[in-house]
Structure 1
Amino acid sequence: MEVRNRDGEPVDPVPFVVCAGLAAMLCFSCGPLYGLAYGVSVRASLAVSAVATIAVTAVAYHRLVWAATPRWVDVPPQFRFERLIYVALALGVVLLALSVPLLVDGGFPGAIAA
């Protein structure tokens, strides 16, 4: 099956699949642990992880499939580099946010103190 954008032109589905897979992996591997660190139940943490995965997948679909530009459109290197910088900054913010529970109250509940 060929994936097409909103204009009916074929697009590469691999970036979307990779992005959605990484989002699911990150949300379901970190979400419940950090939910427990914040005092949320496992069931609620899994629900929030599922909602976050669905939201990221929907945004990735819109960005990487529905609104994707065709392969023949040349994107200037400056724009690609700018976009790479923004993605790196966003990843840094996510990693910083994931480290907050480790700094508050000495880490995860039930962690062995050294």
Structure 2
Amino acid sequence: MRILIVEDEANVRSFLQNAMKALRRGVKVDTANHGADGLKLARRQWYDLIITDYHMPKMDGIDLTFTLRQEGYTMPIVMISADPIVEPYALNAGANLFLAKPVSLENLRYMLNVFGL
């Protein structure tokens, strides 16, 4: 299984990366610190799951999600944000799930189970 985490906050990015490795043995996790880099990675490598923050420099999570969906990518995309008002916009852009920050290990376990990963 391969996961892409797109998050501009280093501590959150590190937490998500370590949590994924703890929850699923052998998972490969790539990271990007803004949406534009996340888009480049997603275009080069197939991912079983993308976790993206909403608010980031260069390209936010809504634009990243919308662009991937417009280009035909079908992998699950999970949007995270400390601002719950983002949820309907995330889902409308094509995200499969929205998680409010702070994201817990239990939230991430639930997310993986929802997608059968």
Which TM-score tier does this pair reach, normalised by the shorter chain? 0.3 to 0.5
- TM-score, scaled relative to structure 1: 0.32
Q: Which of 1 and 2 has greater Rg? A: 1
Q: Which has the higher helix share?
A: 1
